Each structure stands twice: as C-alpha cells, then as structure tokens.
Structure 1
Amino acid sequence: MLGLLINVAEQREMEYLIKRELEENLFDLEDERIEHIVKPAMKERYQLLFRLLQRVASPEDCMKYMLRKQTK
C-alpha cells in the first residue's frame, strides 16, 4: 500500500484532471467509429480512473461518473 500527502489545492487539481479524462473516455466509448476490439481496454481504463476519483472526490461527484450497464 502506498500513501500520498497532498494539500486541498492539489486534491482539487487531481479531481479536475481525473474528471476530464473520464469525460473524454465516456465520449470515446459512445463513439461508434471506434472499433469494438478497443472498447474493453477503454472500459478498463475508465474503471481505473473512476477508482482514483473515488479517492479524491465526494460521493455525489462520483455518482455522475458511474457507468451505466448496457443491455445488448
């Protein structure tokens, strides 16, 4: 296990950067032009980023970025 000591400004910056990455990843996941072979790796990256967001953001903020289960 690793620890990280950051101040409030750094926490906000990390939260901002992670949210931007998540939004970009969501946009790409919805893009039909991206091959379906690549999408599982993108979903895995999204989950990793989401777990990082859970460590620095409030639960309310995290709820906005939860992936919806798609039935296909």
Structure 2
Amino acid sequence: MDASLEHCTATMVTTLFDQAERRDPERLRHWNVLVDGANHQLECLAQEAARRGVSMTSSSISFMRSNRHYPTPPCQ
C-alpha cells in the first residue's frame, strides 16, 4: 500500500507495479488492485497493466472525503 501528495498518480502506479513484480516476478498469482474509485487512477492502472502485459482485477471503494481537496495530476 502506498500513497503520495507529492507524486502524480502515474508515478505511484508505476512504483506499485514495480513492487508487485518484485513480489511475484514470474506472475504466478492473480493481481488485485483496490482503489478509491477515481477514474484517473483506474485509467493509469489499466495503462500500466497493458504496458507490462499484466492481467489484473481492480476494485473501487468509496471513502468519505475530507473537505480539503488535493488536485491530482493527470495520468501521463
């Protein structure tokens, strides 16, 4: 699990995929991803999975958000 207010979503997704590949280098397990449901996160996940040729399942969950909004850079 990881999060950042300093790095864009695409950078964080790449980092998470790097971690997953270190844990399962032969891709013997099915990868599941849990996100807060933001469309840009799902798009970045799908793009990175396609780039790496990885099959995964993503699940969205909604959390009550605070009244502070932190802008998220778009997926590159």
Larger radius of gyration: 1
TM-score interval (norm. to shorter)? 0.3 to 0.5
| TM-score (normalizing by structure 2) | 0.36
Higher relative contact order (CA 8 A, sep 6+): 2
The structure whose residues are more often strand, as a share, is 2
The structure whose residues are more often helix, as a share, is 1
